[in-house]
Amino acid sequence: MAISEAGNIRGWQYQRLAISEAGNIRGWQYQRMAISEDGNIRGWQYQRLAISEAGNIRGWQYQRMAISEAGNIRGWQYQRLAISEAGNIRGWQYQRLAISEDGNIRGWQYQRLAISEDGNIRGWQYQRMAISEDGNIRGWQYQRLAISEAGNIRGWQYQRMAISEDGNIRGWQYQRLAISEAGNIRGWQYQRMAISEDGNIRGWQYQRMAISEAGNIRGWQYQRMAISEDGNIRGWQYQRLAISEAGNIRGWQYQRLAISEAGNIRGWQYQRLAISEDGNIRGWQYQRLAISEDGNIRGWQYQRMAISEDGNIRGWQYQRMAISEAGNIRGWQYQRLAISEDGNIRGWQYQRMAISEAGNIRGWQYQRLAISEDGNIRGWQYQRMAISEDGNIRGWQYQRLAIGEAGNIRGWQYQRMAISEAGNIRGWQYQRLAIGEAGNRRGWQYQRMAISGCQ
């Protein structure tokens, strides 16, 4: 059936029924309605019903409404309902609204609701708003809410604001809030500000806050400043602060200064501090200073200390110093300690020293100790010494000790000596000792001597 008024088609109906042997209806009904007044299509309805043998409706309904004013589309609605055998609604609703006044889209809303068998709403809502003045986008809002069976909100909110005055983007704000079942906010806030003068970016700020159920801030702050005068980047600062529930700072600070006159990097510093709630240091410090005038690296330091709540060390320390004037490495140290709650060391220590003068490697040490819960050492030690004068390799020593639970040495020692005069290899010695549990040596020795005269 096609329905018309003044020649305009208003809608039509459609029905198809398949009748079974027992006289029960198994077909379906279909209806679509296009609504118009001034020739503009305002919307339409759609319905399809599948009818079972027992006469229960298993079909669904569908509705979409396009709203217009002066030819501008303002928004539309959409609804689809799946109906069960017992008449309970399992479908969903959908709504989207585009708002405009002077032809510019100001924003839209979006809603989708999934309806359960017992009539509780399990869907979500969605909202996004684009705000404009004089054609410049100032920002937008965004909201999405996931609704539980008991009507509690589990969704989140989202907001982003782009700020402009003379067409230059000065900064924006960002907010996202995750809302729990009890209505407490678990989301976070985010803020970034780009500061400019005469078109040059001077720096920006950044803030992110993670909010707990009790409303305490667990997020962090972030700041970065890029400084320029003649277009060359002179340096920037960086700060990041992780804030705990009680407002104590757990984050870190960062500073980097790149100074250039002829394009050479003069140096930068880096520092990070992680501070606990009760004032004990649980994080680590980091400092690096790269100073160069002729392109040489002068050195840097690195330290990390993770300390537990009750004063026991659970973390590790790390220190490295690379000092050079002519590009030579002077040496570095490394130490790591993992200490348990009861004061026993469960971690290991590590030490390595690379010493050089005039580019020749003089030797290095290496130590790694894995300490058990009962305080016994289970790790090993390692030592290697390369001895040189006038560039000739004179020999080296090597030692590796595997230490057992009761402190007994199970490792081995190794020594090899290459002797030379005038560049000729005169001979070498080789020794390897395997040491038992009681300290007894079970290894072997090896010696080979090549003697040369005029040849």
H or E segment to which residue 47 belongs: strand 41-50
Distance CA 166, CA 107 (A): 23
Return the closest-CA partner of residue 207 out of 225, 194, 219, 195: 219
What per-residue confidence (pLDDT) applies to 357? 44
Q: Residue 114 has what pLDDT?
A: 52
- pLDDT at 297 exceeding the cut of 50: no
Rounded Cα gap, residues 410 and 375, in angstroms: 18
Q: What is d(CA 75, CA 66) in angstroms, rounded to the nearest whole number? A: 6
Q: What pLDDT band is residue 54 in, cutting at 50, 70 and 90? A: low
Return mean pLDDT, the chain.
47
H helix or E strand, kind and range, residue 295: none
| Cα-based distances in Å from 383 to 134, 367, 397, 410 | 74, 7, 7, 16
pLDDT at residue 49 greater than cutoff 50:
yes
Strand locations in 319-438, DSSP E? 348-352, 355-357, 360-370, 380-389, 392-402, 412-421, 424-434
Question: Above 50 in pLDDT, residue 326?
Answer: no
Portion of the chain with pLDDT greater than 90, in percent = 0
Inter-residue contact 160 to 169 (CB < 8 Å): no
| pLDDT for residue 296 | 45
Q: Is 38 exposed, middle or buried (0-12, 13-18, 19+ CB in 10 A)?
A: exposed
Give the per-residue pLDDT at 52: 54
Q: How confident is the model at residue 324 (pLDDT cuts 50, 70, 90)?
A: very low
Q: What is the pLDDT of residues 412-430, one digit of tens each?
A: 445 555 544 444 444 444 5
Ranges 110-114, 117-121, 296-300, 432-436: which has the least confidence: 296-300
Long-range residue pairs from 249-256, CB within 8 A, at least 24 positions apart, any chain: 249/273, 249/275, 250/274, 250/275, 250/276, 250/277, 250/282, 250/283, 251/220, 251/221, 252/283, 252/286
How do residues 126-169 score in pLDDT, each as one tens digit?
A: 544 444 444 444 444 455 555 454 545 444 445 454 444 444 44
224-248, pLDDT tens digit by residue? 444 444 444 444 444 444 444 454 4
| Residue 116 confidence (pLDDT) above 50 | yes
Residue 215 has pLDDT above 50, yes or no: no
CB 198 within 8 A of CB 229: no
- Average confidence (pLDDT) over 322-347: 46
Rounded Cα distance between 386 and 165, Å, is: 67
Domain boundaries, the chain: 2-449
- For residue range 157-190, what is the model confidence (pLDDT) as tens digits? 454 544 444 444 444 445 455 545 454 444 444 4
Global pTM?
0.23
How large is the average pLDDT for residues 302-328? 45
